[in-house]
């Protein structure tokens, strides 16, 4: 084998090894295959501090994202906007399922639900209030809100890894997930948007 071919093979092997190393890093040691999976894996290992952002709920009341409360009460969060006809339906139906299960299992005192709109221009308190009624949200368990200051929206979305892109028709293309904010106000877990049952399973397991 000539020196030129040998050098090419060595270079190819090196590039392949580097690519494999990079892929292993991105996939967290081949444990995940998507960016959402990587986020879930990372949060399970190391909860993240959340920014001190203020929200406004359907009654117009302002409150901090890291709202202080009972040391035993945690928050289950999802993102949506009320005009959405696609993935947001999964977000809302998932939280409706969780509300029913939390109440039925006597866990509503330990967990609360929070749906955050990333469309504050249209999702005013009146709109959020009407949406909450439509979803059957009990305000003692499930709160609808958006950012109190629209300038805080980019930082909020970045903290949760939510990507929102205008679709050119007045609506948005976006990803979604269920999130858990723990009693210390940290972003602690993320779940697939179509797996509220996995959220519930973790909640039930935590009570044992």
Residues in binding site for Cu cation:
84, 88, 174
Q: Which residues of 104-137 are buried (b: 16+ CB within 10 A; e: fewer)?
A: eeebbebbbbbbbbbbbeebbbebbbebbeebeb
Q: How far apart are CA 72 and CA 67, in angstroms?
A: 13
Question: Binding site membership: which residues?
Answer: 84, 88, 174
């Amino acid at each position: 084998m000539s020196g030129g071919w040998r050098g090419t093979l060595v270079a190819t092997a090196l590039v392949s090894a580097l690519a494999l190393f990079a892929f292993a890093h991105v996939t967290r040691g081949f444990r995940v295959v998507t960016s959402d999976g990587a986020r879930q894996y990372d949060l399970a290992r190391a909860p993240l501090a959340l920014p001190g952002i203020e929200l406004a709920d359907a009654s117009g009341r302002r409150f901090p994202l890291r709202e202080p409360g009972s040391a035993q009460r945690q928050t289950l969060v999802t993102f949506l906007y009320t005009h959405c006809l696609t993935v947001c339906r999964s977000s809302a139906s998932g939280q409706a399922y969780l509300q029913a299960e939390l109440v039925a299992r006597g866990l509503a005192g330990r967990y609360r639900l929070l749906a955050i709109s990333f469309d504050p221009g249209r999702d005013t308190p009146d709109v959020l209030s009407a949406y909450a009624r439509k979803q059957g949200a009990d305000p003692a368990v499930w709160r609808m809100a958006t950012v109190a200051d629209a300038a805080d929206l980019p930082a909020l979305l970045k903290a949760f890894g939510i990507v929102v892109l205008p679709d050119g028709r007045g609506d948005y293309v976006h990803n979604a997930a269920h999130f858990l904010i723990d009693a210390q106000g940290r972003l602690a877990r993320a779940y697939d948007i179509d797996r509220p049952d996995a959220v519930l399973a973790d909640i039930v397991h935590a009570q044992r």
